[in-house]
Amino acid sequence: MALREPDCLFCKIVAGEVPAEIVREGERTVAFRDINPQAPTHVLIIPKDHYRDAAAAGRAGRGVLDEIAVAAEEVAKAEGVAANGFRLVFNTGPGAGQTVFHVHGHLLGGRGLEWPPG
Ligand code: AMP
Ligand code: ZN
C-alpha cells in the first residue's frame, strides 16, 4: 500500500478512485496526462507514495526523485519529444503555482521551450 493522504487528489488517482489518462505506470511511479495541458506533451509524473513537494520527497531518501527523472525520460521518448528536449518542472509552494500538494514533475515538450518561460 502506498503512503496515502486523505483527500489528496493524486493519491486518489494512484488508487484508481479518480480517472486519469495514465501513460506509464512503474512500481513506484505513475505518469498521466495533465488535464489542462500547457504543451503538446504535458504529463505529470508522481510517486505512488504521498510527499507534499519535491523537497519532502528528497528528504525521504528513498530515490523517489531519481525515479521521477528516469520515468520522465522514458515518457519523453515514448512521446517522441526526448530528442528535441523537454522540461521537467516541480512547482514548490503556492507562490510558485503549486496547487496539488502531492509532489509531481511536469514533463513539458513538443513545442518551443523558451527560457525564461513566458
Ligand atoms: P501544480 O499547479 O504544479 O500543483 O500542478 C497541478 C497540475 O495538476 C495542474 O497543471 C493541473 O492542470 C493538473 N490537474 C489537476 N487536476 C487534475 C486531474 N484530475 N487530472 C490530471 N491533471 C490534473
Ligand atoms: Zn497524495
Mean pLDDT of 23-29: 97
Between 115 and 91, residue with greater pLDDT: 91
Helix (H) or strand (E) holding 1: none
Q: pTM for the complete prediction?
A: 0.97
User: Which range (52-56, 62-66, 72-76, 112-116) has the least confidence?
Assistant: 112-116
List, in order of start, the domains of the chain with CATH numbers.
9-103 (3.30.428.10)
Average pLDDT over residues 37-55: 98
Q: What is the DSSP letter of 37?
A: -
Q: Whose CA is nearest to atom 12 of ligand 1?
A: 36
Span 15-19, average pLDDT? 97
* Matching residue, cell 526523485: 65
- The answer to whether the CB of 20 falls within 8 A of the CB of 34 is no
Q: For residue 16, what is its C-alpha cell? A: 484508481
Q: What is the set of active-site residues?
A: 104
How far is the centre of ligand 2, averaged over its atoms, from the C-alpha of 112 (Å)? 31
Write out the DSSP string of 45-63.
Answer: EEESS--SSHHHHHHHTSS
